[in-house]
Amino acid sequence: MKNKALWPLVVIWGIACLCGSRGCQEQERVALLALNATLDLKYRVDAGESYFNCCSWESVDCNPTTGRVTHLMLSMSRYYHFGFKTWYLNASLLLPFEELKSLDLSYNYLGGWIGPEEPNLLSSRLSKLEVLDLSGNSLDNSILSILGTIPSLRSLFLGGNNLRGNLLVKGGFSNLMELDISDNAIDAATIEGIKNLSHLENLYLDFVHLKHVGTIVRALGALSSLRILSLQYNTIEGTITTQDFHNFSKLEQLILDDSSLNTSRGILSSLGPLTSLRLLSSSRTNLSGNISNHSLCNLVKLEELDLSFNGITSRLPICWRNMSSIRILNLEDNEFADSVVSSPLTNLTSLEFLSISGNHFDIPSSLGPLANHSRLKVPSMTHFNLSYMDISNNNMRGKLTTKFWANVPNPSYLNLSTNRLEGNIPSELGSVKSLDILDLSSNNFSGGLPIQLLDSKLDILSVAYNNLQGEIVLSNHTMNPGLSFLWLEHNLFNGSLSFLSSLFDLEILDVSNNIFIGKLPRLIANMTLLVTLDLSKNQLDGLIPQELCNLDLLEYLDLSDNNLSGPLPSFFYLTVDAPHPSE
Ligand SMILES: *[C@@H]1O[C@H](CO)[C@@H](O)[C@H](O)[C@H]1NC(C)=O
Ligand SMILES: *[C@@H]1O[C@H](CO)[C@@H](O)[C@H](O)[C@H]1NC(C)=O
Ligand SMILES: *[C@@H]1O[C@H](CO)[C@@H](O)[C@H](O)[C@H]1NC(C)=O
Ligand SMILES: *[C@@H]1O[C@H](CO)[C@@H](O)[C@H](O)[C@H]1NC(C)=O
Ligand SMILES: *[C@@H]1O[C@H](CO)[C@@H](O)[C@H](O)[C@H]1NC(C)=O
Ligand SMILES: *[C@@H]1O[C@H](CO)[C@@H](O)[C@H](O)[C@H]1NC(C)=O
Ligand SMILES: *[C@@H]1O[C@H](CO)[C@@H](O)[C@H](O)[C@H]1NC(C)=O
Ligand SMILES: *[C@@H]1O[C@H](CO)[C@@H](O)[C@H](O)[C@H]1NC(C)=O
Ligand SMILES: *[C@@H]1O[C@H](CO)[C@@H](O)[C@H](O)[C@H]1NC(C)=O
Ligand SMILES: *[C@@H]1O[C@H](CO)[C@@H](O)[C@H](O)[C@H]1NC(C)=O
Ligand SMILES: *[C@@H]1O[C@H](CO)[C@@H](O)[C@H](O)[C@H]1NC(C)=O
Ligand SMILES: *[C@@H]1O[C@H](CO)[C@@H](O)[C@H](O)[C@H]1NC(C)=O
At residue 211, φ and ψ (nearest 5 deg) are: -120, -60
What is the number of the ligand closest to the CA of 472? 11
Ligand 9 neighbours (beta carbon < 6 A): 297, 318-319, 321-322
Nearest CA to ligand 3 atom 9: 170
DSSP 43: B
Q: Which helix (H) or strand (E) holds 15?
A: helix 2-18
Examine residue 503 and state whether it is found in any structural domain, yes or no. yes
Examine residue 483 and state whether it is found in any structural domain, yes or no. yes
Examine residue 557 and state whether it is found in any structural domain, yes or no. yes
Examine residue 523 and state whether it is found in any structural domain, yes or no. yes
Q: What pLDDT, on the 0 to 100 scale, is given for residue 85?
A: 86
Instruction: Give the distance (Å) from ligand 9 centre to CA of residue 319.
Output: 6
Task: State which of 196, 197, 200, 223 you would mutate to test the pocket of ligand 3, scoring each by most atoms of that ligand within 8 A of its C-beta.
Answer: 196
DSSP string, 93-130: GGTT-TT--EEE--SS-EEEEE--SSTTHHHHHTTT--
Q: Where are the alpha helices (DSSP H) in 197-338?
A: 213-220
Q: 554-559 — which CB contacts under 8 Å span 24+ positions? A: 554/530, 555/531, 556/531, 556/532, 557/533, 558/512, 558/533, 558/534, 559/520, 559/535
At residue 259, φ and ψ (nearest 5 deg) are: -95, 150
Give the domain range for residue 577: 424-583
Q: Cβ(477) to ligand 11 under 6 A? A: no
Amino acid sitting at position 213: V
Instruction: Give the distance (Å) from ligand 12 centre to CA of residue 485.
Output: 21
Could you count the other beta carbons within 10 Å of the beta carbon of residue 37? 11
Size of the chain, expressed as the number of residues it contains: 583
Interatomic CA distance for residues 215 and 319, integer angstroms: 30
Residue 340 burial by Cβ neighbours in a 10 Å radius (0-12, 13-18, 19+): buried
At residue 493, φ and ψ (nearest 5 deg) are: -65, 140
Which atom of ligand 1 is found nearest the CA of 51?
13
Are 225 and 250 within 8 A, CB to CB?
Answer: yes
Instruction: Give the distance (Å) from ligand 6 centre to CA of residue 233.
Output: 12
| pLDDT tens readout for residues 224-274 | 899 999 999 988 877 788 888 999 999 999 999 999 887 767 788 889 999
Q: What pLDDT, on the 0 to 100 scale, is given for residue 45?
A: 61
Q: What pLDDT, on the 0 to 100 scale, is given for residue 576?
A: 45
Instruction: Give the distance (Å) from ligand 12 centre to CA of residue 526.
Output: 6
Instruction: Give the distance (Å) from ligand 6 centre to CA of residue 312.
Output: 14
Ligand 5 neighbours (beta carbon < 6 A): 237, 262
Q: What pLDDT, on the 0 to 100 scale, is given for residue 186?
A: 87
Examine residue 553 and state whether it is found in any structural domain, yes or no. yes
Instruction: Give the distance (Å) from ligand 9 centre to CA of residue 254.
Output: 23
CATH of the domain at 479: 3.80.10.10
| Ranges of residues in the chain whose predicted pLDDT is under 50 | 1-4, 6, 8-21, 368-380, 574-583
Q: Give the count of domains, the chain.
A: 1
Q: Cβ(481) to ligand 7 under 6 A? A: no
Examine residue 408 and state whether it is found in any structural domain, yes or no. no
Q: What pLDDT, on the 0 to 100 scale, is given for residue 404?
A: 57
Residues in contact with 578: Cβ distance below 8 Å, sequence separation at least 6, in sequence order? none
- How far CA 400 is from CA of 185, 367, 446, 466, in Å, comes to 55, 8, 12, 14
Task: State which of 322, 323, 346, 380 you would mutate to test the pocket of ligand 10, scoring each by most atoms of that ligand within 8 A of its C-beta.
Answer: 346
Examine residue 77 and state whether it is found in any structural domain, yes or no. no
Examine residue 370 and state whether it is found in any structural domain, yes or no. no
Which residues on neighbouring strands pair with residue 212, listed in sequence order?
237
Instruction: Give the distance (Å) from ligand 8 centre to CA of residue 293.
Output: 6
Q: Cβ(218) to ligand 4 under 6 A? A: yes
Q: What pLDDT, on the 0 to 100 scale, is given for residue 41?
A: 86
DSSP string, 461-517: EE--SSEEEEE----TT---TT--EEE--SSEEEE-SGGGGG-TT-SEEE--SSEEE
